[in-house]
Structure 1
Amino acid sequence: MDQERSMQRATLIVVMTTSFASTFLGSSINLAIPAIAADFTSGAVLISWIVTSYLLASAAFLLPFGSLADIMGRKRLYVIGIFLLGISSLLCVFAPTANILIILRICQGLASSMIFGTGMAILTSAFPPQQRGRVLGLSASATYLGLSLGPFIGGWMTQTLGWRSIFLTVVVISFIACGLAMAKLKGDFKGLGSSKFDMTGSLLYATGLTAFLFGLSSLNSVFFAPFSALAGAILLILFVLYELRNTEPLLNIRIFRDNHRFTFANLSAMINYSAMFAITFVMSLFLQLVYGFPAQTAGLILLAQPVCMAIFSPLAGRISDRKDPGFVAAFGMGLSGLGLIIFIFLSPQFPIWLLVADLMLIGIGVAFFASPNNNAIMGSVSKAFYGVASSSLGTARLIGQALSMAIVTLLTGFFMGNMTLAEAPAGQLLLICRTAFIIFSILSLIGVWASLFSTRPGRQNAASL
């Protein structure tokens, strides 16, 4: 019994550590973008790929690695992912050019997809049902902690130790977690060991998503980008058609076809992340390059949004237990959309107190969207489909994040071309910010509709799934 408890504690610590490291890496690097751009003297479009490449690789390989882990053993792939994250982060510390840093960020994205696709499944396998809610809550708190502390710590480290110190921090965390996982985690936590890996579906999905998002974000900078986006869209359509006919699919498409609420709740999640994720990136540029704040101060200001998310998420979750979660999620998306509309009017004279208040409003809106929408997704399926629901939610989140950065990358190329961030006039940076927030505001309105539409009964209820 003591040995089992020790293994459970170690499992919880490892998963919480990697949850923190992955979100910290994503949120902290946004504050370092101006410093990285100055160090490499690269164009703004190329620099934006430092963020986009990580998200794109994570989104493209999350489903394939999650399925592969169920077959070959979750611990094995999880440990490989942690080790690869540590090695790629170490190489990022010594990256001599922006191009090499982008390649290494792709490796980090691959590693993170191994971690994302297996961590929650390992945690669920290690604990009995009556304890899973508590440990999943603790893991979620580590995720929020990384998201909350990332901007402030990343800004402080960039200003005092240099941007490379962010990657060095992830190296230390990754190697500690890897050693603990190898020493303490027992068993492979296999899921569907007798299943066949869907290689065709994996290739169609990963290639299609990569080609589509690359093409979308590069329309202004790469001549074959439109063909890439079109080819990606065709491959994704072929993926859906193939998965509908496959007896052991990578992703159970039928549940989207047959469950109205599940489909629109996932759609609203993807739209929410598409509208919200790049806020930190855009506001980091605005605060440092237009307002002239140092990275540490910018990180402290940006802390307002995730702190409000963490404070109000439990309240939003409790409300969604009593009210229809779709209506609560729509209310949250509406609040966030209002905050995005206010940011359309950003200017060098925009009051700092209003900027902070607006970030808080967006954070409260995201809190009232995220927990209720997760509740809507998980509550729309039976227990047999919890794994599918969790995978689909993670995929929607990463695709939304990658799409958000693809929009910003596209706008950066349109307004700045090959210009470096240091050369960019404040007026052009403001155009990028305002145009991005116009697009994000429109996406939020669409998200409100999707959340409200999810409250309508679908063709098949949760019990039958």
Structure 2
Amino acid sequence: MPTSDIVERRTVLIIATLAAFLTPFMGSAVNIALPSIAAEFALDAVSLSFVASSYLLATAIFLVPLGRCADIYGRKRVFTLGVVVFTASALLSALATSGLVLILFRFLEGIGSAMIYGTGIAMITSVFPPEERGRALGINVTAVYVGLSIGPLLGGYLTEFLTWRSIFLTNIPLGIYIVFMIRRHLAGEWADACGERFDIVGSAFYGAMLLAVVYGFSRLPDPGGVAAIVIGVAFSVVFYAWETRVESPVLNIGLLAANRAFAFSNLAALINYGATFAVGFLLSLYLQVVRGLDPGAAGLVLITQPVIQALFATPAGRLSDRVEPRYVASAGMGLTAVGLALLTLLTAATPMTWIVASLVLLGFGFALFSSPNTNAVMSSVDRSLYGLASGMLATMRTTGMMFSLAIATVTFALFIGSTQIGPEVQEPFMTSLRVAFSIFAVLCTAGIFASLARGRVRK
């Protein structure tokens, strides 16, 4: 193998892995700071959820269009711009003067995240051969979990001693360093769909569809929420009709219909993230509001899950290079369902060992699922579709995250209402917690069958 290829692979892996650390670190660190943000800006439970979901909404809306842009105009170019936007919006978020302003800057941060998510994995897949891809993707996923691990711990202490604003400021040096590394060490570019037209109309329909559906879920059970979901479904019909007729679609609908492994691997990712993402959000509130822990101590408990994920993600990715990914991923989905089932029994006096054990199961299950599932998605498509596939997978992940938060928000709306979460609403809060975890456990159980249904990835 030429030395230049080895250097290129190593450089791409380092840059993509650093960026893969950056975005989940921000998300998990902000989760632990939510009670402090709510106190400063007097946000109720539903408004507080938008601090997290606005970021995810923007990411979901722009992932597939920007992934397609990367295939056409260059993955490195879009990736670099994403790091710049993400870093700048982190600075703006640190300077926010109200809850609404923070939510708007978090939305901008989500756009930068979409550029990173939609291209990082595609860049790795572009330079690594199939027999080494699982290991490389496993390293990338490990960086995600390291970010998730450090986020609650560092975020808790930063919030406690330097206020929540310092969380956003810590991301700026790393963002600048990533851009420097790209400019200095990465000369190559990947644009395997160069010359094809970008589907602006389809992208607009796609964004409107997601915006309406996610907003609708956040407003349930209000009639306006139902109406928004109906509008979102109507947009999905228009989007489907347009995408099946346009010459160069933003989302290849035929790929989902014809490629079983691609379709069901993405569905499994949607279900898995939909069943797990809000766990950190809910347990952060539980540990601080119900159990009275300070942000730093709560972070020490929540770090359990991502640490386990970080330890086992790379071995799981390597295993999926040798064993059919659907078997490894399905076993992971099953363990995750067990961990969620344990959390349905949560009370105000549940031993911390029970909570930690549940998080260990969730972490191990998620590690077994994520790397092999990513390997299955990226190995099931032609290289000209790597950006689209990466963006599609990240969209499933982000849409699942939003769906997970939407379920938490709906349970808050049903059992708590528009009041701040505090000791005075402990009983309805615990009820909403148990209902949410029950829904997540059922979802994850269904996800086992979606994971198994993908069929063989290797011929």
Q: Which range is displaced more, 284-293 or 331-340?
A: 331-340
Q: Which range is displaced more, 412-421 or 54-63?
A: 412-421
Residue 281 (str. 1) matches residue 306 (str. 2): no
- Tell me which amino acid in the other structure corresponds to 1:266: N
Which position in structure 1 is the counterpart of 2:186?
A: 185
Q: Which range is displaced more, 379-388 or 247-256?
A: 379-388
Aligned-residue identity in percent: 40
Shift of the 262–179 alpha-carbon distance from structure 1 to 2, 3 Å rule, reads closer
Which position in structure 1 is the counterpart of 2:396?
A: 396
Counterpart CA distance in 1 for 2:206 and 2:424 is 37
Shift of the 318–6 alpha-carbon distance from structure 1 to 2, 3 Å rule, reads closer
Counterpart CA distance in 2 for 1:228 and 1:180 is 43
Which position in structure 2 is the counterpart of 1:54?
A: 55
Which position in structure 2 is the counterpart of 1:88?
A: 89
User: How far off its partner does 1:381 sit?
Assistant: 4.5
**Secondary structure in 1 aligned to 2:248?**
coil
- Tell me which amino acid in the other structure corresponds to 1:100: V
* TM-align CA RMSD: 2.6
1:58-457 pair list within 5 angstroms: 58-125=59-126, 135-186=136-187, 188-220=189-221, 224-317=224-317, 320=320, 323-381=323-381, 386-422=386-422, 424-455=424-455
**Secondary structure in 1 aligned to 2:244?**
helix
Shift of the 438–129 alpha-carbon distance from structure 1 to 2, 3 Å rule, reads closer
Q: Which range is displaced more, 444-453 or 184-193?
A: 184-193
1:293-341 deviation line (CA, Å, top 9, x unaligned): 1111111111111122223334444555555433433332222112211
Shift of the 33–393 alpha-carbon distance from structure 1 to 2, 3 Å rule, reads same
Is the 8 Å Cα contact of residues 71 and 384 (structure 2) preserved in structure 1? no
Counterpart CA distance in 2 for 1:281 and 1:452 is 29
Shift of the 318–173 alpha-carbon distance from structure 1 to 2, 3 Å rule, reads closer
Is the 8 Å Cα contact of residues 49 and 409 (structure 1) preserved in structure 2? no
Counterpart CA distance in 2 for 1:363 and 1:132 is 22
Shift of the 4–362 alpha-carbon distance from structure 1 to 2, 3 Å rule, reads closer
- In structure 2, runs of 5+ residues without a counterpart are none
- Tell me which amino acid in the other structure corresponds to 2:343: F
Shift of the 201–21 alpha-carbon distance from structure 1 to 2, 3 Å rule, reads same
Counterpart CA distance in 1 for 2:385 and 2:86 is 30
Counterpart CA distance in 1 for 2:429 and 2:114 is 32
User: How far off its partner does 1:93 sit?
Assistant: 0.9
1:329-374 deviation line (CA, Å, top 9, x unaligned): 3332222112211211111111111110111111122222223333
Is the 8 Å Cα contact of residues 37 and 421 (structure 1) preserved in structure 2? no
Counterpart CA distance in 1 for 2:22 and 2:418 is 32
Counterpart CA distance in 2 for 1:5 and 1:329 is 29
- Tell me which amino acid in the other structure corresponds to 1:259: N
Shift of the 72–94 alpha-carbon distance from structure 1 to 2, 3 Å rule, reads same
Counterpart CA distance in 2 for 1:139 and 1:168 is 24
Shift of the 387–182 alpha-carbon distance from structure 1 to 2, 3 Å rule, reads closer
**Secondary structure in 2 aligned to 1:191?**
coil
Q: Which range is displaced more, 197-206 or 2-11?
A: 2-11
Counterpart CA distance in 2 for 1:291 and 1:241 is 51
1:110-159 deviation line (CA, Å, top 9, x unaligned): 11111112223344556788876665444333222112211111112111
**Secondary structure in 2 aligned to 1:266?**
helix
Q: Which range is displaced more, 8-17 or 142-151?
A: 8-17
Counterpart CA distance in 1 for 2:381 and 2:192 is 19
Counterpart CA distance in 1 for 2:266 and 2:218 is 23
Is the 8 Å Cα contact of residues 139 and 313 (structure 2) preserved in structure 1? no
User: How far off its partner does 1:208 sit?
Assistant: 0.5
Is the 8 Å Cα contact of residues 259 and 462 (structure 1) preserved in structure 2? no
- Tell me which amino acid in the other structure corresponds to 1:22: T
Is the 8 Å Cα contact of residues 45 and 412 (structure 2) preserved in structure 1? yes
- Tell me which amino acid in the other structure corresponds to 2:350: F
Counterpart CA distance in 2 for 1:40 and 1:46 is 10
Which position in structure 2 is the counterpart of 1:15?
A: 16
Is the 8 Å Cα contact of residues 345 and 434 (structure 1) preserved in structure 2? yes
User: How far off its partner does 1:273 sit?
Assistant: 0.4
Counterpart CA distance in 2 for 1:375 and 1:87 is 32
Counterpart CA distance in 1 for 2:181 and 2:321 is 37
- Tell me which amino acid in the other structure corresponds to 2:34: I
- In structure 1, runs of 5+ residues without a counterpart are none
